[in-house]
């Protein structure tokens, strides 16, 4: 049985049983044996803060950081495979990720301070289900999927169907094992994050990612996707704006119209301590317009 030290800011961690399996098989056996009476612990940057703030207590924590099958970054033909426990900073610094999908490096470089980025995992950032997650918009725009493994079953879920509400995902007592990102040759992406003025690496007020593959012959774009953070109960695709852009070159008038659609029709922001709904809507317009203009320019993508 473990218990954390006392923090003057956040209070004491409640007692919990602590398990640290060293293989995926051991992890799945422990999950089955504990039958839902556990919480997966990855980097702990969300979970331990929540526990100290008494926003959740768990009788047992299953620490997955020592499971080798959940670690590592590799390429499988045209797909990039990210283990669930790879830290967000390791993804941001990976030459392979930079070469295949630089837009993901761009977003994860901005996730938290260096200390947070060195603990926070890509699996934890998605499983936590925050509408303001920094990894979600680029991964949605890239068309990523996640592998979930549970009691005697496993399934692949497109990220489009993964988030179902604030802090809610489709995970049902399962482990997120891997994130798969298709990396189309010639694809261009850009991520913009609007954070608090004195702490750009903090949780975003609004974020936007755009990804597409230019079709050299027609000047139109294939797979042009727009994703938004912190302007709806979950990270979202701006599908109405995407539809407006389908099959057409990114001309300035059309870009302006699509950005306005993303702000007025796709985004469903609320007002909270980080910003008002009206401000967020206006910032969606600004960020989406800038991102579309940026990928339309003749440069090889974001770095």
Ligand X SMILES: Cc1cc2nc3c(=O)[nH]c(=O)nc-3n(C[C@H](O)[C@H](O)[C@H](O)COP(=O)(O)OP(=O)(O)OC[C@H]3O[C@@H](n4cnc5c(N)ncnc54)[C@H](O)[C@@H]3O)c2cc1C
| Residues near ligand X, by CB under 6 A | 39-47, 49, 64, 84, 88, 111-112, 116, 119-121, 123-125, 127-128, 130, 133-134, 171, 175-176, 201-203
What is the Cα–Cα distance from 249 to 252, expressed in whole angstroms?
A: 9
Q: Which of 115/299 has CB closer to ligand X?
A: 115
SS3 at position 162: coil
Least distance to ligand X, CB of residue 79, Å: 19
Alpha-helical segments (H) within 109-215: 114-119, 122-127, 136-142
Least distance to ligand X, CB of residue 146, Å: 9
Least distance to ligand X, CB of residue 262, Å: 20
SS3 at position 177: strand
Q: Which of 47/292 has CB closer to ligand X?
A: 47
Beta-bridged to residue 148, according to DSSP, are: 155, 176
Q: Which of 67/190 has CB closer to ligand X?
A: 67
Least distance to ligand X, CB of residue 259, Å: 23
Alpha-helical segments (H) within the chain: 24-34, 47-52, 88-93, 95-100, 102-108, 114-119, 122-127, 136-142, 239-245, 252-261, 277-296
Q: Which of 175/194 has CB closer to ligand X?
A: 175
Q: Which of 46/266 has CB closer to ligand X?
A: 46
Are the CB atoms for 276 and 177 separated by under 8 Å?
no
Least distance to ligand X, CB of residue 186, Å: 28
Q: What angle do CA 237, 187, 285 make, to 5 degrees?
A: 40
Pairing of strands 168-169, 79-83: unpaired
Residue with CB nearest ligand X?
Answer: 124
């Amino acid at each position: 049985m473990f218990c954390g030290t006392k923090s003057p800011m956040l209070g004491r961690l409640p007692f919990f049983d602590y398990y640290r399996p060293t293989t995926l098989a051991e992890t799945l056996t422990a999950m089955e044996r504990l039958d839902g009476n556990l919480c997966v612990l990855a980097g702990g940057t969300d979970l331990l803060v929540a526990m100290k703030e008494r926003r959740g207590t768990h009788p047992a924590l299953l620490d997955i950081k020592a499971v080798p099958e959940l670690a590592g970054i590799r390429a499988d033909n045209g797909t990039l495979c990210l283990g669930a426990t790879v830290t967000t900073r390791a993804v941001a610094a990976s030459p392979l990720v930079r070469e295949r999908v630089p837009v993901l490096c761009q977003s994860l470089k901005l996730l938290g301070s260096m200390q947070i980025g060195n603990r926070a995992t890509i699996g934890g950032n998605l499983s936590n289900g925050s509408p303001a997650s920094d990894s979600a918009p680029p991964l949605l725009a890239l068309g990523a999927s996640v592998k979930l493994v549970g009691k005697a079953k496993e399934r692949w879920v497109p990220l489009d169907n993964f988030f179902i509400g604030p802090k809610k995902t489709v995970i049902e007592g399962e482990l997120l094992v891997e994130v798969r990102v298709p990396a189309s040759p010639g694809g261009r992406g850009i991520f913009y994050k609007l954070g608090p003025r004195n702490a750009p690496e903090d949780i975003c007020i609004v974020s936007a990612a755009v990804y597409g593959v230019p079709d050299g012959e027609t000047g139109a774009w294939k797979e042009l996707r727009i994703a938004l953070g912190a302007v709806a109960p979950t990270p979202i695709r701006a599908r109405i704006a995407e539809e407006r852009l389908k099959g057409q070159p990114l001309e300035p008038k059309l870009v302006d119209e699509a950005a306005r659609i993303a702000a007025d029709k796709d985004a469903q922001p609320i007002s909270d301590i980080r910003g008002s709904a009206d401000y967020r809507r206006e910032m969606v317009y600004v960020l989406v317009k800038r991102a579309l203009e940026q990928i339309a320019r003749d440069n090889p993508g974001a770095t």
